[in-house]
Amino acid sequence: MERVALVTGGARGIGLGISGALAREGYALAVCGTRSAEAAAPQLETLQKCGGEVCYIQADVSQAVDRSRLLEKVHARFGALHVLVNNAGVAPRVRADLLEATEESFERVMRINLQGPYFLTQAAARWMVEQRRADAAFCGCIVNIGSVSAEVASVSRGEYCVAKAGVTMMTRLFASRLGQEGVTVYEVRPGIIRSDMTGPVQDKYDALIADSDLLIQKRWGEPEDVGRAVASLARGDFPYSTGQIVHVDGGLSVQRL
Protein backbone atom coordinates (compact mmCIF):
# COMPACT_ATOMS: atom_id res chain seq x y z
CA MET A 1 0.00 0.00 0.00
CA GLU A 2 1.18 3.53 -0.76
CA ARG A 3 2.22 5.28 2.43
CA VAL A 4 0.60 8.64 3.07
CA ALA A 5 2.02 11.56 5.07
CA LEU A 6 0.33 14.77 6.20
CA VAL A 7 2.66 17.71 6.84
CA THR A 8 1.13 20.84 8.35
CA GLY A 9 2.75 24.05 7.18
CA GLY A 10 4.46 21.82 4.64
CA ALA A 11 4.86 24.26 1.75
CA ARG A 12 7.38 26.70 3.20
CA GLY A 13 10.41 26.88 5.45
CA ILE A 14 11.15 23.85 7.60
CA GLY A 15 7.90 22.26 6.48
CA LEU A 16 8.97 22.36 2.85
CA GLY A 17 12.24 20.65 3.76
CA ILE A 18 10.26 17.93 5.54
CA SER A 19 7.80 17.52 2.67
CA GLY A 20 10.64 17.23 0.17
CA ALA A 21 12.40 14.56 2.22
CA LEU A 22 9.21 12.50 2.53
CA ALA A 23 8.39 12.93 -1.17
CA ARG A 24 11.82 11.58 -2.07
CA GLU A 25 11.07 8.58 0.16
CA GLY A 26 8.05 7.86 -2.02
CA TYR A 27 5.28 9.08 0.26
CA ALA A 28 2.02 10.40 -1.10
CA LEU A 29 1.83 13.84 0.48
CA ALA A 30 -1.00 15.87 1.90
CA VAL A 31 0.36 19.33 2.60
CA CYS A 32 -1.63 21.99 4.40
CA GLY A 33 -1.09 25.70 4.91
CA THR A 34 -3.01 28.92 5.34
CA ARG A 35 -2.05 30.28 1.90
CA SER A 36 -4.15 29.62 -1.16
CA ALA A 37 -3.15 26.80 -3.51
CA GLU A 38 -2.26 29.43 -6.10
CA ALA A 39 0.13 31.17 -3.72
CA ALA A 40 1.78 27.88 -2.81
CA ALA A 41 1.95 26.64 -6.42
CA PRO A 42 5.73 27.11 -6.93
CA GLN A 43 6.54 25.07 -3.82
CA LEU A 44 4.00 22.38 -4.75
CA GLU A 45 5.55 22.09 -8.19
CA THR A 46 8.94 21.57 -6.56
CA LEU A 47 7.50 18.79 -4.39
CA GLN A 48 5.85 17.07 -7.32
CA LYS A 49 9.24 16.85 -9.02
CA CYS A 50 10.53 14.90 -6.01
CA GLY A 51 8.18 12.06 -6.85
CA GLY A 52 4.89 10.83 -5.44
CA GLU A 53 1.46 12.41 -5.40
CA VAL A 54 1.03 15.81 -3.73
CA CYS A 55 -2.27 17.21 -2.49
CA TYR A 56 -2.51 20.74 -1.04
CA ILE A 57 -5.26 21.62 1.44
CA GLN A 58 -5.77 25.16 2.68
CA ALA A 59 -6.38 24.90 6.41
CA ASP A 60 -5.64 26.69 9.69
CA VAL A 61 -4.74 24.11 12.35
CA SER A 62 -5.84 26.48 15.13
CA GLN A 63 -9.46 26.11 13.97
CA ALA A 64 -11.40 22.95 14.88
CA VAL A 65 -13.52 23.07 11.73
CA ASP A 66 -10.39 23.30 9.56
CA ARG A 67 -8.74 20.37 11.35
CA SER A 68 -11.79 18.22 10.77
CA ARG A 69 -12.03 19.23 7.12
CA LEU A 70 -8.31 18.61 6.65
CA LEU A 71 -8.52 14.97 7.76
CA GLU A 72 -11.72 14.44 5.79
CA LYS A 73 -9.97 15.59 2.63
CA VAL A 74 -6.96 13.35 3.29
CA HIS A 75 -9.33 10.42 3.79
CA ALA A 76 -11.26 11.21 0.60
CA ARG A 77 -8.08 11.59 -1.47
CA PHE A 78 -5.90 8.79 -0.11
CA GLY A 79 -8.06 6.61 2.15
CA ALA A 80 -5.23 6.23 4.68
CA LEU A 81 -2.79 8.14 6.86
CA HIS A 82 0.49 6.65 8.03
CA VAL A 83 2.49 9.71 9.11
CA LEU A 84 1.45 13.01 10.68
CA VAL A 85 4.05 15.78 10.97
CA ASN A 86 2.90 18.65 13.19
CA ASN A 87 5.11 21.38 11.78
CA ALA A 88 2.89 24.44 11.36
CA GLY A 89 3.78 27.18 13.80
CA VAL A 90 4.24 30.90 14.22
CA ALA A 91 6.42 33.30 16.16
CA PRO A 92 4.90 36.24 18.05
CA ARG A 93 4.12 39.10 15.69
CA VAL A 94 6.04 41.38 18.08
CA ARG A 95 9.02 40.27 20.16
CA ALA A 96 7.88 41.94 23.36
CA ASP A 97 9.59 41.96 26.73
CA LEU A 98 8.13 39.37 29.08
CA LEU A 99 6.73 42.17 31.26
CA GLU A 100 4.97 43.81 28.31
CA ALA A 101 3.69 40.85 26.25
CA THR A 102 -0.06 40.68 25.65
CA GLU A 103 -2.65 37.98 26.27
CA GLU A 104 -3.73 38.33 22.64
CA SER A 105 -0.27 37.31 21.44
CA PHE A 106 -0.09 34.49 23.98
CA GLU A 107 -3.46 33.08 22.91
CA ARG A 108 -2.61 33.28 19.19
CA VAL A 109 0.72 31.47 19.56
CA MET A 110 -0.70 28.81 21.88
CA ARG A 111 -3.67 28.06 19.61
CA ILE A 112 -1.50 27.62 16.52
CA ASN A 113 1.61 26.05 18.06
CA LEU A 114 0.11 23.81 20.75
CA GLN A 115 -3.68 23.57 20.91
CA GLY A 116 -4.07 22.98 17.17
CA PRO A 117 -1.41 20.26 16.93
CA TYR A 118 -2.69 18.63 20.13
CA PHE A 119 -6.20 18.14 18.85
CA LEU A 120 -5.13 17.36 15.28
CA THR A 121 -2.98 14.60 16.76
CA GLN A 122 -5.92 13.35 18.81
CA ALA A 123 -8.09 13.03 15.70
CA ALA A 124 -5.33 11.57 13.52
CA ALA A 125 -4.41 9.08 16.25
CA ARG A 126 -7.98 7.80 16.43
CA TRP A 127 -7.86 7.18 12.69
CA MET A 128 -4.47 5.46 12.94
CA VAL A 129 -5.79 3.19 15.71
CA GLU A 130 -8.74 2.25 13.50
CA GLN A 131 -6.36 1.39 10.66
CA ARG A 132 -4.19 -0.71 12.99
CA ARG A 133 -7.19 -2.66 14.25
CA ALA A 134 -8.30 -3.33 10.69
CA ASP A 135 -4.79 -4.35 9.59
CA ALA A 136 -2.25 -5.66 12.10
CA ALA A 137 0.58 -4.76 9.70
CA PHE A 138 -0.27 -1.04 9.86
CA CYS A 139 2.38 1.16 11.50
CA GLY A 140 1.66 4.80 12.24
CA CYS A 141 4.08 7.58 13.10
CA ILE A 142 3.55 11.06 14.52
CA VAL A 143 6.38 13.61 14.53
CA ASN A 144 6.05 16.90 16.38
CA ILE A 145 8.38 19.71 15.38
CA GLY A 146 9.52 21.36 18.57
CA SER A 147 12.29 23.88 19.16
CA VAL A 148 15.32 24.50 21.34
CA SER A 149 13.08 27.21 22.78
CA ALA A 150 11.38 24.45 24.79
CA GLU A 151 14.43 24.61 27.08
CA VAL A 152 16.33 27.78 26.12
CA ALA A 153 14.64 30.82 27.66
CA SER A 154 14.02 33.80 25.39
CA VAL A 155 12.38 36.61 27.35
CA SER A 156 11.32 38.50 24.23
CA ARG A 157 9.08 35.63 23.06
CA GLY A 158 7.93 33.85 26.16
CA GLU A 159 4.69 32.62 24.59
CA TYR A 160 6.67 30.75 21.93
CA CYS A 161 8.89 29.09 24.54
CA VAL A 162 5.89 28.00 26.62
CA ALA A 163 4.12 26.56 23.56
CA LYS A 164 7.18 24.56 22.49
CA ALA A 165 7.67 23.25 26.03
CA GLY A 166 4.08 22.05 25.78
CA VAL A 167 4.89 20.22 22.54
CA THR A 168 7.49 18.20 24.45
CA MET A 169 4.94 17.00 27.00
CA MET A 170 2.39 16.45 24.24
CA THR A 171 4.90 14.11 22.58
CA ARG A 172 5.39 12.13 25.77
CA LEU A 173 1.66 11.90 26.42
CA PHE A 174 0.72 10.61 22.99
CA ALA A 175 3.71 8.28 22.89
CA SER A 176 2.54 6.78 26.18
CA ARG A 177 -1.06 6.42 25.02
CA LEU A 178 -0.29 5.02 21.56
CA GLY A 179 2.60 2.70 22.41
CA GLN A 180 0.40 -0.39 22.38
CA GLU A 181 -1.48 0.74 19.27
CA GLY A 182 1.36 0.42 16.78
CA VAL A 183 1.92 4.19 16.56
CA THR A 184 5.25 5.79 17.44
CA VAL A 185 5.51 9.44 18.47
CA TYR A 186 8.63 11.62 18.40
CA GLU A 187 9.74 15.22 18.75
CA VAL A 188 12.28 16.67 16.37
CA ARG A 189 13.82 19.73 18.00
CA PRO A 190 15.48 22.15 15.56
CA GLY A 191 17.95 24.82 16.57
CA ILE A 192 18.81 27.82 14.40
CA ILE A 193 17.31 26.94 11.03
CA ARG A 194 17.30 29.21 7.98
CA SER A 195 13.60 29.92 7.34
CA ASP A 196 10.95 32.63 7.10
CA MET A 197 10.72 32.69 10.90
CA THR A 198 14.42 33.41 11.45
CA GLY A 199 14.73 35.81 8.50
CA PRO A 200 14.00 38.95 10.57
CA VAL A 201 16.81 38.11 13.02
CA GLN A 202 19.34 36.77 10.51
CA ASP A 203 21.99 39.36 11.38
CA LYS A 204 21.79 38.46 15.07
CA TYR A 205 22.26 34.75 14.38
CA ASP A 206 24.94 35.32 11.75
CA ALA A 207 27.00 37.07 14.41
CA LEU A 208 26.32 34.45 17.09
CA ILE A 209 27.27 31.59 14.77
CA ALA A 210 30.45 33.29 13.57
CA ASP A 211 31.71 34.94 16.75
CA SER A 212 30.61 32.77 19.68
CA ASP A 213 30.72 29.20 20.90
CA LEU A 214 26.93 28.87 20.71
CA LEU A 215 27.16 26.03 18.18
CA ILE A 216 29.57 23.14 17.85
CA GLN A 217 28.89 22.98 14.11
CA LYS A 218 29.31 26.59 13.07
CA ARG A 219 26.71 26.96 10.37
CA TRP A 220 23.03 27.64 9.91
CA GLY A 221 20.79 24.60 9.96
CA GLU A 222 18.80 24.12 6.77
CA PRO A 223 15.22 22.88 6.37
CA GLU A 224 16.65 19.80 4.68
CA ASP A 225 18.53 18.91 7.88
CA VAL A 226 15.21 18.68 9.70
CA GLY A 227 13.62 16.87 6.76
CA ARG A 228 16.21 14.09 6.84
CA ALA A 229 15.61 13.53 10.56
CA VAL A 230 11.84 13.34 10.09
CA ALA A 231 12.20 10.96 7.14
CA SER A 232 14.33 8.57 9.18
CA LEU A 233 11.74 8.48 11.96
CA ALA A 234 8.86 8.02 9.54
CA ARG A 235 10.78 5.24 7.79
CA GLY A 236 10.97 3.35 11.06
CA ASP A 237 14.71 3.58 11.64
CA PHE A 238 14.13 4.08 15.41
CA PRO A 239 11.29 1.66 16.20
CA TYR A 240 12.25 1.21 19.87
CA SER A 241 12.61 4.91 20.71
CA THR A 242 9.07 6.27 20.88
CA GLY A 243 8.61 9.42 22.96
CA GLN A 244 12.16 10.61 22.35
CA ILE A 245 13.58 13.95 21.25
CA VAL A 246 15.84 14.15 18.20
CA HIS A 247 17.97 17.31 18.35
CA VAL A 248 18.80 18.97 15.02
CA ASP A 249 20.69 21.96 16.39
CA GLY A 250 24.37 21.79 15.47
CA GLY A 251 25.29 21.00 19.08
CA LEU A 252 23.53 24.02 20.58
CA SER A 253 21.95 21.86 23.31
CA VAL A 254 25.26 20.26 24.36
CA GLN A 255 26.39 21.73 27.70
CA ARG A 256 30.06 22.64 27.62
CA LEU A 257 32.63 24.27 29.89
Q: Could you tell me the end-to-end alpha-carbon distance of the chain, in angstroms, rounded to an integer?
A: 50
CA dihedral 75, 78, 79, 82 (to 10 degrees): -90
Task: Give the active site residue among 160, 186, 205, 240.
Answer: 160
Contact by Cβ (8 Å): 57, 30 = yes
Q: What is the largest CA-CA distance in the chain?
A: 56
Q: What is the 3-state secondary structure (H, E, C) of 81-126?
A: CCEEEECCCCCCCCCCCCCCCCHHHHHHHHHHHHHHHHHHHHHHHH
Contact by Cβ (8 Å): 187, 215 = no
Contact by Cβ (8 Å): 109, 92 = yes
How many C-beta atoms surround the C-beta of residue 64 within 10 A? 13
- Gap between the Cα atoms of 220 and 198, Å rounded: 10
Residue 160 annotated in active site: yes
Catalytic positions: 160
